[in-house]
Structure 1
Amino acid sequence: MGLDGTYGQRAADPGQAVVPPQRGVAPFDLGAWVNAPRPELAPGVWRLNHRQRSEADREAAAVPAGPLLWRAALNAVVAWIVQIYAPDLVWWVIDLLGLRDGMGAGVTTFLALLVYGLVLAVVIRVFGRMGRWLEVWRRWVAPLLARTVTREEPAPDAEPAGLTDPWAALRLGGAAEAARLLDARPVGDVDYVRIQRAWETVHQDPALLPAFTEQVAARGGAACAHPSEARDLAGRGPGHDLLTRQVRLGTAQDVVKNPQAHRATGFALDPSLLGTSLLAVGPAGTGKTARLARPLAEALCLQALAGTACAVVLGSAEADLGPDDWYDVVIAPGDPSSPYGLDLFGAAAEVEQAAARLADALLPDELAPRGEAARAALQQTVGPFHAAYGRYPGVRELRALLGGAAAAWQTLRQTLDDTGRLAPHEADLQHRERQHGRADDPGALLADRLALLDRPAFAGHFPGDGPGRPAFAMRVLDHPLRVRVKLPERSHPEAARMLSRLLTGQFVQAAGARTERALFAGLVVDDASAAVDAQVVRGLQGMRGANAGAVLLLRTLVDLPEALRTALFGAVGCRMAFPGIAPWDGKLFSEAWGTHLVRETAVTHTPDTSGGMFRKAGRGLRKALSGTAAQTESVTVRDVERHRWSPSDLAHALPGGHAVISLASVTGDQVPPLLVDLRGQ
């Protein structure tokens, strides 16, 4: 990796040319941020400044304020009454035993003080414990006194001892001058992580040390900058910790269904969880985009600026996935102002793989059974064209060839013959020419599908048909790029579905084929109803070991072919259900999350027939007077298996602004489903 955060050359990828406006770096306490506690916790727990709750805190939090105050007041009243009458009872016992006979006045006074003191101590001990007076003092009385009586705010925590020098690695590694310069310059969290990552490269290759020091001397906190020169995101939200690479999405609720370690803690995601991919299902209006997709897109873009990730974000042009200046490459097919186009064959270096991926994307779900013949037809067309011209065909050229245009095929054959490459492709040409005009020709089907992209609105957006925009190719995932694709779902809905399927498949294919996997490759798809096919499902599992992951949002699982639903659930590690999902969707979540043991108490009432004649007569009299028969009560406690979350709970019991999510990390750690409040961080 170079000092600019890229691998190898940096001028080849289209993202380099885009330079978003630089936002000023606000004052930032780097030392406090670096030294803030980040304990090792269970997956999904927000680590920054986390305070582990003690068992006493958990027990106290389990008691609501109302019952706690009522119990404290009731015990105080009883304690007051006991304090009044208990000393008289003690004196009566003393007199009964004759212990005061012959005592002098001084001894009697001492004994009285001892009696009153012992009674007071016993009363406070017994009733204070039952009434939890210490908890009431800690929760309400002490803070109230601090504010109203002494008019002093609680003292801040003492400065922790043994603070870590943020630039200790540089000083110890021979870059003390660079560390001194950085101490005197403003440095943000993105800058710090980026410079530390560049220092790791210098540590591996000491020959880069002079260049590193020169960069720091010349640019300070902007040293080793991202190719876009951006150091932060405009309008950045809270809840990002770039040291742990976590993004906080909400708070895990303090309920029995949640595991103890996650109750009342911040909920966060990071690449170790996203690396297993995440599937989120919920109807429109439940906050999937605003509370999940946008924060994750923002986190990936920040990590890209820090040199630790690359981000590809897919969604409609209207979806709020961040402003354009968050991204290096903005692709908007059908929009004349779009600065970049899209390479339809940009996922693989091998011609046949790229052609096969395009064929899968062109066919809708209902035509998937013809996929194998379509892949073969496209490979037999693209392969000879690439051999003849050294490039991939444009949309119009490919449509003409697949449609069997005689002039196009004659020109292709003549070009292959002139360049001496006809022989290896003769069989493919003959096979395709025999298929032309037949009713079952997959080429004609593909040509009809390509017609959706061969529209005036898309002119210049796809390479190959003359001059156009610089084209983004998915194979550049080893660079810290930030890519936003705006799909034309309103103006060209079927073309948008096709492109969504193509780009998702290309990402999965390219992420798994990367040789340099230091960067986390993240994909966020705002509406994945058309993006998932069998090839994508198979590829999701392989991304776990490739330091890559996908976040797929769906309105309902019914949007997917039935054969893919269970397979998709098995392919992703993190599953998220939003309020209002359909019961049939909830059934899949419920089955995936399994069951757990629940202690169930059953109370049975039966007529009381025990005892002799007198007890039976008494029960008969009671029945005659009250109209109710005496009964015995038997209690049975047993452990039974119940669904962690039933389909009915997921469909009807989830409150608004919440979600239930289960987690799995790339290291194999599992977290049962958590109820999370997503309305605040």
Structure 2
Amino acid sequence: MLVPLLVGLFIWLAYRNDNLPYAATVMRTFTPNDWWTGFGATAKDWQGVAVHTIFDGLVFFGLVWVVGALGSWGRIIGYYLARRRPPVRAALTGLAALVGLAAVLPEALHLGWSAVPVVNPILYLIALVTGGWHIAGSPIVVYAVYVLAAALVVWPCAKIGGWESLYREWRSGKAPNVPDPAAPSSPGIPRSQWPELRAAGAHRAADVLTGELAAGRMNDADCARLHRVWQASERDAGRRAAFVDALVRQGAAADAHPSGDRDLPARSAPHDLLEGQVRVGRWVAAERGSRRYHDAGLALDPELLGTSLLAVGPSGSGKTRSLVAPVVESLCLQALTGACAVVAVGSSGSQLGPDAAYDVVIRLGDPASRYDLDLYAGATDPDEAAACLAEGLVGDMEGMETRRAATVLAQLLGPYRVAYGRFPTVPVLRELLEARPETLRALLDLLPADGAQAMRRELESRLRQVGTTNDLGPVLADRLAALDRPLFAEFFGGAEESRSFSLRSVAQHPMRVRISLPEGGHEEAARLLNRLLLAQFQHITRGGAGRGNSAFLVLDDAAGAVTPGALRALQRLRTQNSGVVLALRTLAEVPETLHGPLLATVGCRMAFSGLPTWDGRAFAEAWGTERVEMTEVAHHTVFADQPMTRAIHALRKLVTGKAVTTEAVTVREVERQRWSASDLAHAVPPGHAVLSLSHLRGEQVPPMLVDLRG
């Protein structure tokens, strides 16, 4: 602002003191020579004085316009005035108008200083055009020019200060409409007063909720839940009326989660439940990051997780503490608002929150566990149950077709269900897979002769395969043996009392489920269960685009879970209102042929510090390249031809110790990797990660460094 003003004042003073070159030449160029004396701009009569005065006005207005444009005076004044209340803004612009009038019309206000060249140039122009002062000197013309000059000063101030709107509000007797910063979408009514309910006429319900909030009996989860239910009932008048009645009777507890919980026992991360976000870190102001994200907070929400997220980092890099735990906590809070369902899978030692934060806690292998896991996910169709089980048993075996394995399992599950009314337990299924022909014939005899022809045909086909070289029964039985251990004797339907939990419930209700996998010497069982749970989740969420809530599966250790079949199903989750979060210690836990498809399928990719170079290579290829400007500076020695120049160069080299050189600067566009394998392995500090994001709407954030500490 000030630099153009100082330059303008300098030019104006130079002009007033006749030190501005070519001013006289300009005036004499556009006027007759007989108006001037000699070769300068000395006026001979009143016409020359008039030209001088008019030229003063033109120079003054030109300097004002240039100073205002170069200094952005209009934008800066508007910025500061917009932050003021309307009465204060009107008062400040009124004061500016008085100052302007005092500078333009000091005689009318009986002030003793000289006026800026506004009025006199206009009067002299009128006199010059009319050929004398008989018109320009009349009181009517003089006062009209005064009014015009005053209008030129007052009108911009009135426009900027909003005098007209303030006057209309004063005439109507209303207070100025000042937007509440807490409720930009509802001027005059803060969000704490529930303007949506008041706009719909539910003033009593809004008063009840306002009182609940003021008394501290309502939290952010209640606000998000009630806001969501209100929006969901927009097209159902009956449901909305019932909801308003529940608000009047129950207040903030209306339409609560079926568990009765309205908050988690404890929180470890900052949340914004109205936006559905959880903050996990902050973007670092690094060279490779976009300036628009420098030092901005990083938050994740279901619309980002809906594209699925893959996090890779060695043990101790902070995957669980910095990412998985905050994400699970956020999804559990949103489940309390009815927005989603979550299944968190990890070892018993994983810090995924207390048991009280979940509706169902399944500790596989722990006799004290209240719940058991349904091996078949509540399926009644043998083919459906066999497909999920086959993916879990042999989905990771190279050269093994899960379709053939599913066929073998279906040939046993269907007849067994017809004979006993349920699917077999793990020991029984293993025995059937290893069975001799006479054992299967005994099962065949249990099938009714009428009404079970299809099942008899299935079992007879299985009988013909037993003992052949293509028999997959022993392979499946060998894989199933990992679950047929004494530790799991009371699980997977083996207990006397039924306490099985079906993952299918997650697709229908906003549930919070925690599944603890066995540790120690049961790593193969944990990997098998990872594959099984991922297959079940992908199967039960099919056709979920019309569900009211989304569903998420979080695998804190996804080792062994990624298979070709899982990847094919993972590509469809975006359209099924579902997502998966996969955490891996290294990409080596996934078959090498699946590295590229896995990174291409997930929308959000995260590489933690300490990543091996070969893992970094896969991320670098997935993130691709970008075009950047590269500046090259070359120094060339100057060889002089003239003796004097050579002597000067020799003297300069003797004094400085350096030869005389010239710089050649070359700027060109090149393609480089966004993050190279070496950068990912060695340039990511501890507590940081490189993260790229994709939104369900298709928006993307390029890979950038993020600080996950604190």
Per the normalisation by structure 1, the TM-score is: 0.73
Displacement of 1:478 after TM fit? 2.2
Letter in 2 for 1:188: N
Matched, 1:169 2:196: yes
1:172 Cα deviation (Å)?
Answer: 3.2
Aligned with 1:512: secondary structure? coil
Residues 619 and 629, structure 1, Cα contact 8 Å, conserved in 2 = yes
CA distance in 2 between partners of 1:467 and 1:408 (Å): 27
Deviation of 1:230 (Å): 0.4
* Residue 597 (structure 1) aligned with residue 627 (structure 2): yes
Correspondence for 1:675: 705
Correspondence for 2:644? 614
Map 1:45-444 → 2, pairs under 5 A: 162-165=188-191, 166-185=193-212, 186-209=217-240, 211-346=242-377, 350-363=381-394, 365-367=396-398, 369-406=400-437, 408-418=439-449, 420-444=450-474
Alpha-carbon distance between aligned partners in 1 of 2:417 and 2:334, rounded to the nearest angstrom: 37
Is residue 630 of structure 1 aligned with residue 656 of structure 2?
A: no
Q: Which moved more, 1:515-524 or 1:542-551?
A: 515-524
1:80 matched residue in structure 2: none
- 1:546-565 alignment runs, 5 A limit: 546-565=576-595
Provide Cα deviations, 1:349-395, integer angstroms capped at 9, x if missing partner. Answer: 54312211201211263455243332221121112223333422221
SS at structure 2 position matched to 1:417: coil
Indicate the RMSD between aligned Cα atoms, in angstroms. 2.6
Q: Distance in 2 between matches of 1:159 and 1:313?
A: 35
1:645 pairs with 2:675: yes
State the secondary structure of the residue aligned to 2:262: coil
Distance 2:401 2:411 in 1: 16
Structure 1: distance between partners of 2:649 and 2:506:
87
Contact kept, 8 Å, 1:304 with 1:310, in 2: the verdict is yes
Amino acid at match of 2:601: A
* Residues 1:490 and 1:368: Cα distance change in structure 2 (over 3 Å): farther
Higher relative contact order (CA 8 A, sep 6+): 1
Aligned length: 527
Superposed displacement of residue 159, structure 1? 7.6
Q: Which amino acid aligns with 2:422?
A: R
Q: CA, structure 1 residues 360+470, in 2 after alignment: closer, same or farther (shift >3 Å)?
A: closer
**DSSP-derived class of the 1:354 partner:** helix
Alpha-carbon distance change, 618 to 201 in structure 1, aligned in 2, over 3 angstroms:
closer
Deviation of the 1:214 alpha carbon:
4.3
In the other structure, the counterpart of 1:473 is 503
The aligned amino acid for 1:182 is L
Deviation at 1:502, TM superposition (A): 0.3
In the alignment, does 2:686 pair up with 1:656?
Answer: yes
Q: How do residues 445-484 of structure 1 correspond to structure 2 at under 5 angstroms?
A: 445-463=475-493, 466-484=496-514
| Larger Rg belongs to | 2
Distance 1:633 1:209 in 2: 75
Whether contact under 8 Å (2:378, 2:503) holds in the other structure is yes
Cα distance between partner residues in 1 of 2:520 and 2:591: 23
Q: What is the DSSP-based 3-state SS (H/G/I as helix, E as strand, rest coil) of the residue aligned with 2:234? A: helix
Alpha-carbon distance between aligned partners in 2 of 1:434 and 1:261, rounded to the nearest angstrom: 67
- Kindly provide the CA deviation profile for residues 136-170 of structure 1, in whole angstroms up to 9, marking residues without a partner as x: xxxxxxxxxxxxxxxxxxxxx98876343452222
Relative to structure 1, is the Cα distance of residues 209 and 630 closer, same or farther in structure 2, using a 3 angstrom cutoff?
closer
- Asked if 2 retains the 8 angstrom alpha-carbon contact of 1:478 and 1:514, the reply is no
Equivalent residue letter for 2:499: R
In structure 2, what is the Cα distance between the partners aligned to 1:158 and 1:670? 30
Partner of 1:76: none
The structure-2 alpha-carbon separation of the partners of 1:190 and 1:622, relative to structure 1 and needing over 3 Å to count, comes to closer
8 Å contact kept, 2:624–2:674: yes
Partner of 1:169, secondary structure, is helix
Matched, 1:583 2:647: no
Structure 2 CA distance for aligned equivalents of residues 208 and 574 of structure 1: 37
CA distance in 2, matches of 1:172, 1:388: 61
Structure-2 separation of matches of 1:515 and 1:463: 32
d(CA) in 2 for partners of 1:222, 1:599: 58
- C-alpha distance in 2 between matches for 1:329 and 1:162: 44
Deviates further, 340-349 or 624-633 = 624-633
Q: Structure 1, residues 307-329: CA drift from partner, whole Å, max 9, x if none? A: 10100101001111111111101
Change in Cα spacing, 1:426 to 1:658, as seen in structure 2 (3 Å) is same
1:500 is aligned to 530
Distance (Å, rounded) in 2 between the aligned partners of 1:627 and 1:184: 82
**Percent of aligned pairs with the same residue?**
46
Could you give the per-residue CA deviations for residues 201-228 of structure 1, whole angstroms, max 9, x where no partner exists? 4433322345434433443211111011
Find the counterpart in structure 2 of residue 523 from structure 1: 553
C-alpha contact (below 8 Å) 1:512/1:539 kept by paired residues: no
Residues of 2 paired with 1:679 and 1:610: CA distance? 59
Distance 2:662 2:379 in 1: 76
Q: What are the ranges of 5 or more consecutive residues in structure 1 without an aligned counterpart? A: 1-55, 57-128, 130-156
8 Å Cα contact 1:277/1:551 also seen in 2: yes
Spell out, residue by residue over 1:159-186, the C-alpha distance to the aligned partner (whole angstroms, 9 max, x if none).
Answer: 8763434522223335333222222222
Q: Structure 1 residue 408: deviation in Å?
A: 4.5
Deviations 1:268-308 (A, max 9, x none): 11111111101011000010000000000000000000110
Q: Are residues 336 and 204 of structure 1, via their aligned partners in 2, closer, same or farther at CA, if it must alter by over 3 Å? A: same
Residues 513 and 459 (structure 1 numbering): CA distance in 2 closer, same or farther, change over 3 Å? farther
Deviations 1:482-533 (A, max 9, x none): 0000000224221111111100111122223336422121111101111111
Q: Deviations over 1:403-426 (max 9, x none)?
A: 1245642343123225x2331123
Runs of 4+ more than 6 Å apart: 157-161, 624-627
* Distance in 1 separating the partners of 2:694 and 2:640: 57
Q: 1:487 aligns with which of 482, 506, 517?
A: 517
Q: Which amino acid aligns with 1:409?
A: L
Equivalent position SS for 2:230: helix
SS in 2 for 1:203: coil
Q: TM-score, normalised by structure 2?
A: 0.70
Offset at residue 626 of structure 1 (A) = 6.8
**Aligned 8 A contact 1:281 1:555 in 2:** yes
Alignment correspondent of 1:8: none
Q: Alpha-carbon deviation of 1:536?
A: 1.4
Alpha-carbon distance, 1:427 to partner: 3.0
Amino acid aligned to 1:164 = P
Classify 1:414/1:214 alpha carbon distance in 2 versus 1 (closer, same or farther; 3 Å): farther
Contact 1:394 1:465 in 2 (8 A): no
Distance in 1 separating the partners of 2:611 and 2:556: 17
